[in-house]
Homo-oligomer: A and B are copies of this chain.
């Protein structure tokens, strides 16, 4: 394994900025959530374990070799980030949050393995979707503490060209990604909005 090195300042700041945004929204309670950003073809910057995501600096972000083992002090969820970058060279940032809507809906629909969304204008926040007249199938995976196995299961199902830039872990939260941090954030905000609308509709239509 390569020695861990420092992430470039601009990469750290892009991670710190999404962390501040998510913390202000209440999406990373109790030091939950993780954020990462690609440095280059071989390495990525990832938030360390157990830190307040609303107040990130260089000390809270580690630069990791995509081909090396994961060093100590990293979150157990680091493989879920790393494997996304390894599977798809166009992925530039991966974000993970714990929101009430993603936690509750992922538990409610875990037996289905998917949350189906239909007819929202907000679908267009997702890359490649140009009309609300689409069906969006957001995958749901059972939660697991063996995140190496879980990451393999996730990548096997997502395949080469995921239809949606995100998925849910049941009772756990939301993952999203994009070619850039801006796009990952747009996908995160778009999916969370769709989840909030859907949760509201579940309340009304039971």
**A residues neighboring B (CB under 8 Å):** 25-26, 29-32, 98, 100, 103-104, 107-108, 119-122, 125, 130-133, 143, 145, 169, 171-173, 186-187, 189-190, 192-193, 196-197, 199-204, 206
Q: Does B125 lie within 8 Å of A189, measured CB to CB?
A: no
Return chain B residues, CB-CB under 8 Å to A131. Answer: 145
How many copies of this kind of chain does the complex include? 4
Question: A122: which of B32, B125, B192, B202 is its contact (CB, 8 Å)?
Answer: B32
Question: A204: which of B30, B119, B130, B202 is its contact (CB, 8 Å)?
Answer: B202
Q: Does A200 lie within 8 Å of B104, measured CB to CB?
A: yes
Query: When chains A and B are docked, how far (Å) is the Cα of A104 from the Cα of B98?
Result: 22
Query: When chains A and B are docked, how far (Å) is the Cα of A171 from the Cα of B194?
Result: 10
Q: Does B203 lie within 8 Å of A203, measured CB to CB?
A: yes
Q: Does A186 lie within 8 Å of B103, measured CB to CB?
A: no
Q: Does A193 lie within 8 Å of B30, measured CB to CB?
A: yes
CB distance from A161 to the nearest CB of B (A): 21
Q: Does B145 lie within 8 Å of A100, measured CB to CB?
A: no
Further 11 A-B residue pairs, CB within 8 A, beyond A32-B121, A104-B204, A133-B145: A29-B122, A29-B125, A100-B200, A103-B120, A104-B197, A104-B201, A107-B119, A107-B201, A132-B172, A199-B200, A202-B204
Question: A29: which of B32, B98, B192 is its contact (CB, 8 Å)?
Answer: B192
A29-B189, A125-B32, A190-B29 in contact; A132/B145 too (CB < 8 A)? Answer: yes
Return chain B residues, CB-CB under 8 Å to A190. Answer: 29-30, 32
Question: A171: which of B29, B98, B120, B203 is its contact (CB, 8 Å)?
Answer: B120
Top 9 nearest A-B pairs (CB, nearest first) are: A121-B172, A30-B190, A30-B125, A30-B189, A29-B189, A29-B193, A30-B186, A104-B200, A131-B145
